[in-house]
Amino acid sequence: SSEVLEAIENVIQGVLQSLAQKKAPVLTVANRADWRNIEFKDSVGLQMVPGCTTKLIRSDCPQSARRFALMLKILSMIYKMVQSNTYATKRDIYYSDTLLFGSQSVVDQIINDISCMLKIPRRSLHVLSTTKGFVAGNLSYTEEDGTKVNCTCSATAVTVPSNVQGIKNLSSHAKFILIVEKDATFQRLLDDDFFSKVSPCIMITGRGIPDLNTRLLVRKLWDSFQIPIFTLMDADPHGVEIMCVYKYGSVSMSFEAHHLTVPSVKWLGLLPSDLERLNICKDALIPFTKQDENKLASIKRRPYIACQPLWKKELEIMAASKLKAEIQVLTTISADYLSRVYLPNKLQFGGWL
């Protein structure tokens, strides 16, 4: 915490020095959304280059003066929380003054900018994200406040903890981890008691694009157990994108890649080649939209696809057919085909990429 306080004090000192010299204070923030600032490393995923381009948030410029003020406001809130060892969610910060902040996304962006500017992970700033992910299966752990959580005996899923860093005593006999893209598929597998039927496993869903806590938990489970991690996604560009976030990280959070990415993640399904192999009826597939075409073209250009020839092949199949499929398409074969046949076969015969 002393490191965090010192980093904030240095920023404020810079602001005061500028004012003392009758200059307009400026905050320098890395350009997080620029692909030119990102390098791809097999062992880490997407990470920010050391000498990346920056943008200046000036206090004397109408376009950025408000953002400058909001950054100082949130820095002061973080400073107080670190000093008093209290925590707040991003939502709490927004609701502390909704008129001032204007929207939740403004708060989210500023907190990420501050984390990147100070080079301090967000959870060390005492800012927690609201969790939307779920975990189930063969796993137990103790939360920071001493609460014991046992996902094994729970018939329903457990919410991913809001302070993943603080959980300890992780225990599991799982043979693998299955990341499921969607909540509906996750719940279906839960109802089918999938995680105990095939072999003990841990199931996680970020319910779409994963939040920070879900990604932190996947990473923590990988660090703790070093067991295979598989993904079950829709056979569409959006599903591939979500899988890439777990495996290689995202551009906007590349400054935190070391805590978030798990490059060993494998693509289990739904593969575009599975649709042909299983003779899925063309009528059950969904035609591409213009947005899908653009998303797929952008994914194919990314640096990590070059080192994944088998993934590239699947993306070519998808691009050629211009058709996509949701995991639920397997119910056209039989209602429990996913948990009874598809996943057990894939896991037994190594049907992943």
Name 319's bridge partners.
none
pLDDT at 334: 84
Mean predicted lDDT score pLDDT of the chain? 87
Token couple for 284:
């059950």
- List the domain boundaries for the chain: 2-128, 134-349
Which range among 41-50, 101-110, 337-346 shows the weakest confidence by mean pLDDT? 41-50
pLDDT of 110 > 80? The answer is yes
pLDDT at 301: 86
Q: Which fold would CATH assign to domain 134-349?
A: Dna Topoisomerase Vi A Subunit; Chain: A, domain 2 (3.40.1360)
CATH architecture of the domain 2-128 equals Orthogonal Bundle (1.10)
pLDDT at 205: 94
pLDDT of 342 > 70? The answer is yes
Q: What is the pLDDT of residues 225-256, one digit of tens each?
A: 999 999 999 999 999 999 999 998 877 677 67
Which range among 25-34, 156-165, 324-333 shows the weakest confidence by mean pLDDT? 25-34
**Residue 176: band (very low, low, confident or very high) from pLDDT cuts 50, 70, 90:** very high
Q: What is the pLDDT of residues 184-218, one digit of tens each?
A: 899 888 888 887 777 889 999 998 889 888 999 99
Q: What is the pLDDT of residues 285-297, one digit of tens each?
A: 899 999 999 999 9
**Residue 154: band (very low, low, confident or very high) from pLDDT cuts 50, 70, 90:** low
Residues with catalytic function: 95
Close Cβ partners of 255 (under 8 Å, ≥ 6 residues apart): 30, 32, 47, 48, 115, 116, 119
- Residue with the larger pLDDT of the pair 160 and 197: 160
List strands edge to edge, sheet with 229-232: 158-159, 134-137, 201-205, 176-180, 229-232, 266-269
Mean pLDDT of 315-334: 90
What DSSP designation does 341 have? I
Q: What is the pLDDT of residues 39-67, one digit of tens each?
A: 777 778 887 777 676 788 888 888 888 88
Place of tokens 């978030």: 260
pTM over 0.85: no
CA distances to 96, 131, 241, 317 from 44, rounded to whole Å, are 36, 24, 17, 28
pLDDT at 134: 93
